[in-house]
């Protein structure tokens, strides 16, 4: 494993830093950061800037107008986006492009990939299943009738669903295999019930009643859903890392300026030890993130299984980002609870990331199952 980033990946980071440099948290002016604020839509202006900087086409193949980069490049950009709580479906769009590119038909490639690359087609992904606790693919049944596929079921907590153009969602076929379907909000039989995330985004429960889709919109390779879920999980770890780094930086700045008894509180041993512990958390989150991102990139060639590394990365991301924001609020004192100060928004986003794609306990259980199935000799 080589943790050195390529020139193309480093160029993507530089482009992302330039785009996000002028973005306030959540992409909105400070007055809109009030507790309980809900955005009607994602940040369309920022989405256009990302498209103009060729950051929406990172994972799209060159023949469809993209850079042809991998999940590592996507994670690098996601890390930067989380530092400003960028309200854009960058993770879902990039992961969908990778999955469609690898497992979709040539007809589907030509239909959606060029438009994803330009930002004209917004694709989100359903991952939570019916309740948020069961396997997502079991919540929707897909059966074939003639040339068409028919979908029945529901998916809860689908991010960006009220405003995205298409939804990529997992399903199961009559033979018990996982599949992935691409549906539109406007398809007959699709209905949305509004939901609101912890971080103040419009989510939706997507209900499907005898929804008919064309064969090209159905990906039946059983590996597609596992691959897509791994990319989304690792991308969530990248967001948790970027958010944690920004929060620790905010805490460092505050404790360096805040004085007690004539000294900056950052010089107190109890404060320094807590900050050091959180720095260690972030470095562990970073190491496990890049291990998992490298593994799923290598696994794309069918060489190495990624499940164990993805589970370890999400365990560290979930636990680590929670500890970082809790320590930050503690060390900020009263400012930590002040909703006029942006830290509360980072805390809300951290809680959302901690639980997205499964909390630490769920991945610890998955890791235990893997170890039980492959005992060490």
43 lies in a domain? yes
Residue 158's H or E segment, with its range, is strand 148-159
CA angle 119, 124, 126 (to 5 degrees): 175
Structure tokens at 170: 């997992």
Q: Is the pLDDT of residue 1 over 80?
A: no
- Do the beta carbons of residue 170 and residue 179 sit within 8 Å? yes
Domain that holds residue 186: 125-220
1 lies in a domain? no
> In the listed set 121, 137, 165, which residue is the last one of a domain according to the structure?
121
| Pair (274, 358) in one structural domain | yes
> In the listed set 82, 104, 121, which residue is the last one of a domain according to the structure?
121
- Do the beta carbons of residue 200 and residue 37 sit within 8 Å? yes
Phi, psi of 141 (to 5 degrees): -100, 135
Residue 276: the pLDDT is 94
| Pair (341, 360) in one structural domain | yes
Render pLDDT for 58-81 as a digit per residue (tens, 0 to 9): 999 999 999 999 999 999 999 999
CA distance between the termini of the chain: 23
| Pair (82, 184) in one structural domain | no
| Pair (84, 174) in one structural domain | no
> In the listed set 121, 149, 180, which residue is the last one of a domain according to the structure?
121
Render pLDDT for 155-184 as a digit per residue (tens, 0 to 9): 999 999 999 999 999 999 999 899 999 999
303 vs 139 pLDDT, higher one = 139
264 pLDDT band, cuts 50/70/90, is: confident
195 lies in a domain? yes
- What CATH number does the domain containing 174 carry? 2.40.110.10
2 lies in a domain? no
| Pair (15, 103) in one structural domain | yes
Structure tokens at 111: 């239909």
CA distances for 348 relative to 152, 172, 275, angstroms:
33, 33, 20
| Pair (196, 211) in one structural domain | yes
| Pair (337, 249) in one structural domain | yes
| Pair (357, 228) in one structural domain | yes
- What CATH number does the domain containing 77 carry? 1.10.540.10
How many structural domains is the chain composed of? 3
| Pair (234, 363) in one structural domain | yes
Give the Cβ contact number of residue 347 at 10 Å: 23
Nearest Cα to 236, choosing from 129, 125, 132? 125
Residue 16: the pLDDT is 96
Q: Is the pLDDT of residue 30 over 70?
A: no
Render pLDDT for 121-148 as a digit per residue (tens, 0 to 9): 999 999 998 887 778 899 999 999 988 9
Task: In whole angstroms, give the CA distance from residue 329 to residue 337.
Answer: 7
Q: Where are the alpha helices (H) located in 88-156, listed in sequence order?
A: 90-103, 106-118
Q: Is the pLDDT of residue 27 over 50?
A: no
29 pLDDT band, cuts 50/70/90, is: very low
Averaged pLDDT, 98-119: 95
Task: In whole angstroms, give the CA distance from residue 196 to residue 158.
Answer: 10
């Amino acid at each position: 494993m080589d943790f050195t980033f390529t020139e193309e990946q480093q160029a993507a980071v530089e482009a992302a830093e330039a785009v996000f440099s002028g973005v306030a948290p959540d992409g909105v002016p400070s007055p809109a950061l009030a507790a309980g604020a809900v955005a009607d839509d994602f940040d369309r202006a920022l989405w256009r800037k990302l498209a103009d900087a060729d950051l929406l086409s990172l994972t799209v193949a060159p023949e469809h107008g993209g850079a042809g980069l991998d999940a590592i490049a996507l994670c690098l950009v996601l890390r930067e986006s989380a530092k400003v709580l960028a309200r854009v479906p960058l993770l879902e769009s990039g992961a969908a492009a990778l999955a469609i590119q690898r497992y979709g038909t040539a007809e589907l490639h030509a239909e959606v990939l060029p438009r994803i690359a330009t930002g004209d087609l917004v694709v989100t992904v359903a991952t939570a299943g019916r309740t948020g606790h069961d396997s997502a693919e079991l919540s929707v049944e897909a059966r074939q009738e003639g040339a068409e596929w028919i979908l029945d079921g529901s998916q809860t907590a689908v991010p960006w669903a009220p405003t995205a153009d298409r939804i990529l969602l997992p399903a199961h076929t009559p033979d018990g295999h996982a599949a992935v379907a691409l549906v539109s909000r406007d398809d007959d039989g699709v209905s949305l019930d509004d939901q609101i995330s912890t971080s103040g985004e419009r989510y939706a429960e997507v209900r499907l009643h005898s929804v008919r889709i064309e064969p090209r919109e159905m990906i039946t390779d059983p590996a597609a859903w596992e691959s897509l879920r791994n990319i989304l999980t690792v991308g969530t770890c990248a967001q948790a890392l970027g958010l944690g780094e920004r929060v620790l930086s905010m805490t460092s700045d505050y404790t360096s300026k805040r004085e007690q008894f004539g000294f900056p509180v950052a010089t107190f041993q109890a404060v320094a030890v807590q900050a050091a512990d959180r720095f260690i958390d972030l470095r562990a989150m970073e190491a496990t993130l890049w291990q998992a991102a490298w593994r799923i990139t290598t696994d794309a060639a069918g060489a190495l299984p990624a499940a164990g590394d993805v589970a370890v990365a999400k365990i560290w991301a979930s636990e680590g980002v929670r500890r970082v924001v809790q320590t930050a609020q503690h060390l900020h004192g009263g400012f930590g609870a002040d909703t006029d100060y942006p830290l509360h928004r980072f805390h809300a986003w951290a809680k959302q990331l901690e639980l997205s794609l499964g909390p630490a306990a769920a991945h610890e259980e998955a890791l235990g199952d893997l170890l039980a199935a492959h005992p060490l000799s």
